[in-house]
Amino acid sequence: MFRITFFALLFGAVSRVCAQEAFSDALHASIETAADQASAESAWLDLRQNAPQNSTPQEAPAWVEAVTLSAAQPAADALTKSVFRIRVTRPSSDYQVLFVRLFFDDKPAQRPELIAWDESGTNVVRSGALGSGIDLPSSDSVMIPMTGASSIDIEVPGDGKTVRAAYLDWMASSDVVHPLNADRREVIPEPFSSMPPLSAPSQDVEHFGTVTATLAEETIRIGTNIEESAAFQFGIEAQPLAALLTFEIANPRIDAPPQIYLNGQDVGPASLVLPELADPGYRGQMEPLIKQMYFQYTGWLRAQKIVPITSLKVGTNDLIVVNGADGGNSAIRATQIQLKYLWDKSDYLLKTGP
């Protein structure tokens, strides 16, 4: 059991020389764990700066030795930064890579960075700026090699109040098979969801009679009215048999998914692919005169919508994505549409009567 402590401390300039990048896309190191070896417990660290009368000691596994908060001045011409330092010790020599998921307000000028240090104070690895500056509550994950590191710093510009929590878990490796003719997905395996990040093809892709076209790869903020919506135009040469709209959304209210409009018609809400409710990404909120708590997901979720083909037309189509009522502000990215056409090997049944 430990308390987060707060004290003022000035650090000198931090050198980036000889620091390797933390893993952010794939597991590049081999971590083997014996089948009969007890797994190390994961850690959830509440990093909110609550008033002393409202804060209580929190429990953490023995491998988390201490958590402290300090103020850092990296250089004379730089803004003050806050540093959360997490001291850890490896539960076993078999544990070499630590998974860290950080929960924070993703402000453009206050994007956090993870830095691992060894006992001599040498910068071992650093993650680079996390998030994408969408100015919404979010989360981001990295994997950090810990063979020579003993502490991890969460460095963020400002007073550190944009950082809310961190989830830590040790990684283990195993052999994974994948289809030769399918895209290989080298992604960070999230503890509470197996859904990989959505990729947007740079050019239209045709596969088994289905055309996938990217409408917008970049991140677009959306609100709850048409003036704050994301608008797209796309053309089709022939009427498809089915159409599927897919995108990722950050900070959605899980009971108020985005609403989709096609060629001036309301075609209904999208469906969110939700992780299990144990995921710390769910953030509850209460409002006056409302008894029930509602939840935002502080991270990226996949959203999909089967588009009625009767609403599509040959030629140019106009599509609008707007957040659901009471959904607040969100952001979407990797927006794409799939159009399914008749293929020479299509599997279908032709019914001639009752």
**pTM of the full structure:** 0.82
Q: Is residue 144 within 8 Å of 98, Cβ to Cβ? A: yes
Angstrom distance (rounded) from CA 133 to CA 78: 19
**DSSP assignment of 126-139, as one string?**
EEEE-S---SSEEE
Which tokens sit at 194?
A: 């197996």
Angstrom distance (rounded) from CA 233 to CA 347: 31
Residues whose CB falls within 8 Å of the CB of residue 346, separated by 6 or more in sequence, listed in order: 209
Q: Is residue 137 within 8 Å of 283, Cβ to Cβ? A: yes
Which tokens sit at 22?
A: 């933390």
> Each residue's pLDDT tens digit in the chain (354 positions)?
333 333 333 323 332 333 444 544 333 334 444 444 567 899 999 999 877 676 677 788 999 999 999 886 655 556 789 999 999 999 988 899 999 999 999 999 999 999 999 888 887 888 999 999 999 999 999 999 998 899 999 999 999 999 999 999 998 877 777 777 766 665 666 788 767 888 889 899 999 999 999 999 999 999 999 999 999 999 999 999 999 999 999 999 999 999 999 999 999 999 999 999 999 999 998 888 778 899 999 999 999 999 999 999 999 999 999 998 888 999 999 999 999 999 888 888 888 877
